[in-house]
Structure 1
Amino acid sequence: MDEDKIKCPCIKFCNIPYTEVDTVKHHLYKFGFVKEYWCWDKHGKTSIDDDNTFLWVDDSDTNFSECACSYKKMVIDAMAPNLNNSDPEEDPNALDKKFFDMLDAADKELWPGCKKVTQLSVVARLLKIKLEYRIPEQSYDAICQLINDVLPEENNMIGTNGHLARCSRISFKKMHYFPLTPRLKRLYASQAITTSMRWYSENHGHDAGVMCHPSDSEAWKHFDKSHPSFAAEVRNVRLGLNTDGFAPHGAFRKQYSSWPIIITPYNLPTSICLKEPYMCLTALVLGPSNPKHKIDVFLQPVVAELEQLWEEGVVAYDISLKQNFHLIAALMWTISDFPAYAMLFGWSTIGKLACPYCGKHTQAFRLKMVNHPYRKDKNKFKKNREVIEGPPPSKNGEQTLREIEQLGLVKVIELNVDDVNKRCGDHGWKKKSIFGDLPYWKANLIRHNFDVMHIVKNVFEHFLYTVMDVKGKTKDNVAARRDLKLYYRKRKGFEDNERAYYTLDKNQKKVICQ
């Protein structure tokens, strides 16, 4: 080994070439370790401490399912062996100790002398079979009891699943909630990732004024200035909430809506910040219809946990520093497309007041009457007129909350919410957002973000289809040209079937495609 490069122990390179450390990490994630490389003799180690051998089980004779193997890899990652063999300066707290004790199940024999499977692998495989084949809980309990009866008396087989709550009714709309706190604590229990949770506070080496990470943004810096005690502990976690809906059975023409709510920790480096392993699925709202503005009903446990993480925090164990510390987390902003923005923020994004910044100052108008004289007026519209007025001043969180309270709007979880909010009139607001329950929310510089993918994708597609003159997808169609004739002065030489001057010809299209 040299200072910058080590031998790559992945399956593809088998400890032969010297490679940069970051590239080695990428290869290990992609290809995995070379088989039977238990003693790191190619990396300066002569033996492995006996205390750590429980993680390196030779499973060449095992027949674990993919679920069991994946779970075992998670356990190994969470408790990567400490090859320095240094005693911890401090023991984990009681709650975290339960998690570390649970990892012992990765090497716990199902019965004395059993070398083929472990307690953890059996549990993982049984749960996978239960979910894959939709086995009812009573049948699952019976199978577990039968296996328990067949095994020797001194076994570590799990019991029945009777402690799980049962419900005989079919819910119209349901929600699955996955607590966030244990996963945030687990980020600091992993030897492989805990140092990356402090990455944002270090010198990244890029030029000042260049935003390479959310920590370089003005919103991040504003939050640090507003909450200096929170910023003083670099291990405190900053979060972002993402949500979007989709129809999982749309291909089968079945009406069903699925709304995942994902929370992402932004402490991590840019290269892994938005990777799948570090995106925490916190809630999943399922039902035959879109929850729309009543999504706040399902956000209640999420907001309640975020509020608890801010006001009370939680004791976590940092395995890299061998310390217990008080972990606090804060939600920096949400990320969504425009329709989901209306659901989270409470502002109606359809109709005349669709723009949340212009609001009542908007210059948009709608022709409601079929025979309105303006429909055929070609001179009274704003063609060739310049708008020199600037945009209206933006409102901060306190001003927005004050406006909502003055209108008398309430949250959707309140009684008679529909009647109360309707009486408030049409001001663009439809509800009081549940995110206002977070003590720091109104002080955030940026509270909601639009998904760049949706905006860029939609604008680019419309532009490309129009200049490429794609049939059925271009915005320069016959209907659009007839509208121009109806509402504006007719442009000379701009007939229905005439090619527009900005569209590309056949040779130009070939150049673009190449």
Structure 2
Amino acid sequence: MLAFVNQPIYEEATKSKLLVAIRLLAARTNWHAPEKCLEYFIQMLVDVAPKNNYIPKNYYEAKKLASKLGLKAEKIDCCMDGCMLYYKEDKDLTECKFCHSPRYLPPKVGKVRYKNIPVKRMFYLPIIPRLQRLYASMETVRQMGWHHKNKNNSTDLRHPCDGEAWKHFDHVYPDFASEPRNIRLGLCSNGFTPYVQASTNSYSCWPVIVTPYNLPLEMCMTKPYFFLTCLILGPHNPTTIVDVYLQPLIDDLKLLWDCGVLTYDISTEQNFILRAGLMWTINDFPAYGMLSGWGIKGKLACLHCMKDTKAFQLDNGVKPSWFDCHQRLLPADHPFRKSKRRFTRNKTKFDRPRYFLKGDQIWKFIHNFPKATNGSLSNMPGYGQLHHWFKRSIF
């Protein structure tokens, strides 16, 4: 593989064979160029280049060369209703073990089918090889330690590494923080409709993107470092069963956290054990509820206030309102506590700020709750009155 990286397309050329192949594939992706169009331009490049050139002769050769990078996409069959993935020990099943729906489409009458066609499929792009590639390039390996070398002692927040969450994480897991090359990750997910103009039927597609935060801000917030890991195809919103589709990603994240993977660092020319930790998720409120397992409808929608919510219903309204519920979050001696004009008129609030539960306290409450990966979910005792947990999140 290294020979292709350094092999010029012809003598005294500055571009390598691999670079040309990748740019050809990028042209097809970015501008939706047909395969025949690429074949035409490839042939034109071959004709104008010197005779003894190493330009890929066709689209297939370029694709085959790029595949040697090892960054493949896995196609995983799914249950039609999202009950399960045909994954790991279930990969050979022909029907869903929960709802018993078939895995494959039935063959058409009078036609011979040489390959089974799955009813539904998702795509998983393994995150581990792409994180390892960050240490295989001299351009990125120098920047992966930026968060450690550029610590900020002031109160200015320039980068997530200056925030309280990052510092708290380092304090709780000093063994992880002692190796600057370990990667801090953020996960983002949301749905969109890709066929707005093409069809009147609703269709929801959910990408799951992982971002490394070791890099400086001008790099980690750019497109090359938004790693698409899962692509959950519709037609329906995954809602409460999104955990089913996240299983391959979570398995890789657990491996990176618990054991780590052997990785080559090109700057030191040595191997090391690369670990990674998921710091947070970034999403809107509905997706927040889907990932956390807390229902976001009704009076108990606030995950911080929980059962101690101050939500109320307006006289002429149907939906609950949280107007002025944030006043009690202020410190007890804050001057706004006494204000009778800035919040609810002619009222003051001196009750204590809400005590936010810690992770171990939440886990103690929900550790016996069902998981979406174990089949259909049902409301747990106390749902709607004492809590809004509808599942135990895969996170």
Shorter-chain TM-score bucket reads 0.5 to 0.7
Residue from 242, 259, 272 that aligns with 1:325: 272
Counterpart secondary structure, 1:287: coil
C-alpha separation in 1, matches of 2:298 and 2:317: 18
Counterpart secondary structure, 2:374: coil
Tell me what 2:383 maps to. Answer: 425
C-alpha separation in 2, matches of 1:333 and 1:223: 11
5 Å matches for 1:26-105? 54-55=7-8, 57=10, 68-69=22-23
Amino acid of the residue matched to residue 355 of structure 2?
P
Tell me what 2:356 maps to. Answer: 394
Amino acid of the residue matched to residue 349 of structure 2?
V
1:230 to 2:187 alignment: no
Amino acid of the residue matched to residue 383 of structure 2?
G
CA RMSD of superposed structures (Å): 3.5
Displacement after TM superposition at 1:412 (Å): 0.9
Counterpart secondary structure, 1:261: strand
TM-score (norm 1): 0.51
After superposition, the C-alpha distances for 1:217-238 in whole angstroms (9 at most, x for unaligned) are 1111111121211111111111
Residue from 104, 124, 128 that aligns with 2:62: 124
Amino acid of the residue matched to residue 227 of structure 1?
Y
1:343 to 2:276 alignment: no
Contact 2:135 2:264 in 1 (8 A): yes
Residues 200 and 293 (structure 1), Cα distance of their counterparts in 2 relative to 1, 3 Å cut: same
Residues 167 and 295 (structure 1), Cα distance of their counterparts in 2 relative to 1, 3 Å cut: farther
Tell me what 2:156 maps to. Answer: 210
Contact 2:9 2:55 in 1 (8 A): no
Aligned pairs, how many? Answer: 294
Residues 430 and 55 (structure 1), Cα distance of their counterparts in 2 relative to 1, 3 Å cut: farther
More helix by share: 1
Tell me what 2:108 maps to. Answer: none
Residue from 306, 310, 316 that aligns with 1:363: 310
Residues 365 and 201 (structure 1), Cα distance of their counterparts in 2 relative to 1, 3 Å cut: same
Counterpart secondary structure, 2:228: strand
Runs of 5+ consecutive residues of structure 1 not aligned to the other structure:
1-49, 74-112, 129-165, 372-381, 436-514
Amino acid of the residue matched to residue 143 of structure 2?
S
Residue from 275, 291, 312 that aligns with 2:238: 291
5 Å matches for 1:185-196? 185-196=132-143
Tell me what 2:365 maps to. Answer: 403
Amino acid of the residue matched to residue 409 of structure 1?
F
Contact 2:289 2:296 in 1 (8 A): yes
C-alpha separation in 2, matches of 1:122 and 1:283: 25
Tell me what 1:261 maps to. Answer: 208
Counterpart secondary structure, 2:229: strand
Residues 299 and 120 (structure 1), Cα distance of their counterparts in 2 relative to 1, 3 Å cut: farther
Amino acid of the residue matched to residue 428 of structure 1?
H
Contact 2:189 2:282 in 1 (8 A): yes
Tell me what 1:77 maps to. Answer: none
Displacement after TM superposition at 1:359 (Å): 1.1
5 Å matches for 1:376-387? 383-387=345-349
1:239 to 2:185 alignment: yes
C-alpha separation in 2, matches of 1:167 and 1:356: 47
1:434 to 2:394 alignment: yes
5 Å matches for 1:271-282? 271-282=218-229
TM-score (norm 2): 0.66
Select the structure of larger CA radius of gyration. 1
Percent identity, please: 40
Amino acid of the residue matched to residue 214 of structure 1?
P
Amino acid of the residue matched to residue 284 of structure 2?
D
Runs of 5+ consecutive residues of structure 2 not aligned to the other structure:
28-50, 67-113, 319-343
Amino acid of the residue matched to residue 389 of structure 1?
D
Counterpart secondary structure, 1:238: strand
Residues 309 and 386 (structure 1), Cα distance of their counterparts in 2 relative to 1, 3 Å cut: same
